[in-house]
Amino acid sequence: MLTCAVTGAGSTTKKHPGVPVTPKQIAAACLQAAKAGCSAVHVHVRDPATGEGGRDPAHFREVVARIRESGVDIVLNLTCGMGGRLVLDDDDPSVMAPGTDLARPEERMQHVEELLPEICTLDCGSMNFGREVVINRVGDLERMARVAQRLGVKPELEVFDFGQIGIARQLIDGGLIDGTPLFQLCLGIAGGTPATTGAMLALRDALPGGAHWGAFGISKSEFPMVAQAALLGGNVRVGLEDNLYLEAGRLATNGELVDKALQILSLLGVAAMSPAETRTALGLRRHH
**Tens-place pLDDT, residues 143-196:** 999 999 999 999 999 999 999 999 999 999 999 999 999 999 999 999 899 999
Q: List pLDDT tens digits, range 64-89.
A: 999 999 999 999 999 999 999 999 99
Q: How many domains does the chain have?
A: 1
Q: List pLDDT tens digits, range 94-108.
A: 999 999 999 999 999
Host H or E run for residue 43: strand 40-43
**Residue 264 belongs to a domain:** yes
What confidence tier does 137 reach under pLDDT thresholds 50, 70, 90? very high
What confidence tier does 130 reach under pLDDT thresholds 50, 70, 90? confident
Spatial CB neighbours of 197, under 8 Å, sequence gap ≥ 6: 228
**Residue 147 belongs to a domain:** yes
Q: How many CB atoms lie within 10 A of CB 90?
A: 9
**Residue 240 belongs to a domain:** yes
Residue 47's nearest CA partner among 15, 29, 31, 23 is 23
Which CATH number is 244's domain given?
3.20.20.70
Report the DSSP pairing between strands 75-78 and 119-123.
parallel
Report the DSSP pairing between strands 245-247 and 250-251.
antiparallel
What pLDDT sits at residue 131? 81
Torsion 158-189-228-196 (CA) sign: negative
The 3-state DSSP class for residue 113 equals helix
Domain with 213 in it = 2-282
- Cα separation, 226 vs 38, in Å, equals 13
**Residue 250 belongs to a domain:** yes
Spatial CB neighbours of 171, under 8 Å, sequence gap ≥ 6: 122, 124, 141, 142, 145, 155, 157, 177
Spatial CB neighbours of 16, under 8 Å, sequence gap ≥ 6: 240, 244, 251
Q: Is 49 exposed, middle or buried (0-12, 13-18, 19+ CB in 10 A)?
A: exposed
**Residue 287 belongs to a domain:** no
**Residue 113 belongs to a domain:** yes
177 φ, ψ (degrees, to nearest 5): -120, 110
If you average pLDDT over residues 137-141, what whole number do you get?
97
Q: List pLDDT tens digits, range 202-242.
A: 999 999 999 999 999 999 999 999 999 999 999 999 999 99
Torsion 33-78-271-264 (CA) sign: positive
What confidence tier does 116 reach under pLDDT thresholds 50, 70, 90? very high
Distances (CA, A) of 271 to 197, 221, 239: 21, 21, 18
What confidence tier does 288 reach under pLDDT thresholds 50, 70, 90? confident
Q: List pLDDT tens digits, range 39-49.
A: 999 999 999 99
**Residue 288 belongs to a domain:** no
Category of 117 on φ-ψ map: left (φ > 0), alpha (ψ -120 to 50) or beta: beta
**Residue 236 belongs to a domain:** yes
CA dihedral 127, 184, 12, 68 (to 10 degrees): -130
